[in-house]
């Protein structure tokens, strides 16, 4: 698959990060404490989203479709999408501005920012300054992610996520007692960063509850037979014998069992429900070993089928601790 991270005509990737090199060295590395203005420049998010009425040509001449607008980049003039006239645009710089007070007043640290699909979607993440040990030396760190789109595919979305240090597996953190995992704001309403932060609720409380749940998983023992039976039931087709399952399903279960036994960090979680979750987060964060574009995996891991599966496995294992 071609790279989904935006690459400009001059070869520069619209991506910046702090810390270790990411995504095969693409993007620009910033030092800790870099300003929001520096992040905007180095992530290539200095352009704006402009709009224009839809115009078309018939044999009688030029016409306008007044109810629709073309959204396009201010720098390249590349069209991004056609939307209704009431569509509310969130500008690239606003995604980073969302984190200004969080980094200056609340101790968060920007960790990555950039755009995908030619600029149709853009995002930023920040370390929230919170972590815990599921077991000794098995660290899990917290991040806040904000992402939006200008192609009509995604509402502006904020979510609390976790990353397991030993393997960089990611998992979405529920924000309240009802397992709400994201805050979404439609493009039918004006962007209000303050309201989004309020809607996210108490991050401290959400993180502490998540940490408590993960520690319970790490204390919940499971047998190898349970793990095999669980993955087969979860991923095999109902009513079909194991030997008659589609090859893709068999390989997926085999990959999960391999990660459970010997994947990154398996030594800390083998024999526990936490190990089952980590097998799933390993496979569905990083893929099956085939050479894949990391920006594709990023998107799938946070918003696609991969994220859905990771959340389901987590919920299944939490039932064991109830």
pLDDT tens-place string over residues 8-35: 999 899 999 998 766 656 789 998 889 9
Q: 260 in a domain, yes or no? A: yes
> Does 40 share its domain with 164?
yes
pLDDT for residue 294? 63
pLDDT for residue 303? 78
> Does 125 share its domain with 181?
yes
Q: Decide which of 153, 179, 201 is a domain's last residue.
A: 201
**Do 54 and 65 contact (CB within 8 A), yes or no?**
yes
pLDDT for residue 176? 59
Number of H helices, E strands in the chain: 11, 11
DSSP 8-state class, residue 184: E
Rounded to a whole number, what is the distance in angstroms from the first to the last CA of the chain? 42
Q: Decide which of 155, 176, 201 is a domain's last residue.
A: 201
pLDDT for residue 305? 85
Q: 316 in a domain, yes or no? A: yes
The first and second tokens of residue 156, run together, are 């502006």
Q: Which domain holds residue 152?
A: 15-46+89-201
Q: Where are the beta strands (DSSP E) in the chain?
A: 15-18, 28-30, 49-58, 61-73, 79-84, 109-116, 121-133, 139-149, 156-164, 169-173, 183-185
> Does 39 share its domain with 148?
yes
> To the nearest whole percent, how much of the chain has pLDDT over 70?
92
> Does 122 share its domain with 39?
yes
> Does 219 share its domain with 239?
yes
**Do 9 and 73 contact (CB within 8 A), yes or no?**
no
pLDDT digits over 152-203, tens only? 888 999 999 999 999 989 998 887 555 567 788 899 898 888 888 877 766 8
pLDDT for residue 192? 87
> Does 117 share its domain with 241?
no
Q: 296 in a domain, yes or no? A: yes
Strands 156-164 and 139-149: antiparallel
> Does 33 share its domain with 123?
yes
pLDDT for residue 253? 97
Q: 183 in a domain, yes or no? A: yes
Q: How far apart (Å, rounded) are the C-alpha atoms in residues 234 and 227?
A: 10
pLDDT for residue 1? 28
Question: Considering only 41-50, 139-148, 196-205, which range has the smallest mean pLDDT?
Answer: 196-205
* Overall number of domains in the chain: 2
The first and second tokens of residue 49, run together, are 């989203």
Q: Decide which of 201, 230, 253 is a domain's last residue.
A: 201
H helices of 48-188, where?
92-97, 100-104
**Do 163 and 141 contact (CB within 8 A), yes or no?**
yes
> Does 32 share its domain with 140?
yes
pLDDT digits over 195-236, tens only? 888 777 668 888 999 999 999 999 999 999 999 999 999 999
> Does 301 share its domain with 249?
yes
Q: 159 in a domain, yes or no? A: yes
The answer on pLDDT for 274 being more than 90 is yes
Instruction: Report the predicted TM-score, pTM, of the whole model to 2 decimal places.
Output: 0.88
Average pLDDT over residues 90-96: 96
> Does 189 share its domain with 243?
no
The answer on pLDDT for 3 being more than 90 is no
Average pLDDT over residues 106-127: 92
pLDDT digits over 296-306, tens only? 677 777 778 88
> Does 228 share its domain with 311?
yes
């Amino acid at each position: 698959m071609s790279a989904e991270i935006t690459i400009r005509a001059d070869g520069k990737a619209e991506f910046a990060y702090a810390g270790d090199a990411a995504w095969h060295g693409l993007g620009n590395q910033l030092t800790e404490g870099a300003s929001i203005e520096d992040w905007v420049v180095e992530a290539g998010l200095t352009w704006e989203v402009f709009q224009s009425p839809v115009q078309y040509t018939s044999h009688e001449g030029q016409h306008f479709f007044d109810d629709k607008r073309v959204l396009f980049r201010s720098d390249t003039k590349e069209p991004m999408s056609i939307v209704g006239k009431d569509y509310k645009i969130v500008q690239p710089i606003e995604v980073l501005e969302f984190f200004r007070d969080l980094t200056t007043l609340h101790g968060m640290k920007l960790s990555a920012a950039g755009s995908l699909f030619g600029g149709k979607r853009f995002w930023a993440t920040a370390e929230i300054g919170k972590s815990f040990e599921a077991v000794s030396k098995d660290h899990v760190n917290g991040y806040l992610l904000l992402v939006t789109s200008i192609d009509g595919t995604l509402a502006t979305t904020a979510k609390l996520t976790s990353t397991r240090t030993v393997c960089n597996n990611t998992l979405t953190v529920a924000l309240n007692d009802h397992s709400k995992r994201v805050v979404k704001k439609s493009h039918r309403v004006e962007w209000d960063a303050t309201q989004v932060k309020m809607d996210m609720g108490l991050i401290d409380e959400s993180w502490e509850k998540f940490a408590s749940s993960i520690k319970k998983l790490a204390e919940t023992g499971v047998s190898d037979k349970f793990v095999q039976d669980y993955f087969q039931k979860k991923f095999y087709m109902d009513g079909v014998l194991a030997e008659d399952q589609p090859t893709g399903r068999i390989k997926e279960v085999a990959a999960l069992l391999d990660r459970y036994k010997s994947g990154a960090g398996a030594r800390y979680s083998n024999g526990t429900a936490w190990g089952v979750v980590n097998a799933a987060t390993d496979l569905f964060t990083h893929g099956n070993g085939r050479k894949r574009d990391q920006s594709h995996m990023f998107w799938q891991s946070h918003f696609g089928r991969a994220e859905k599966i990771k959340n389901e496995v987590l919920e299944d294992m939490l039932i064991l601790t109830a």
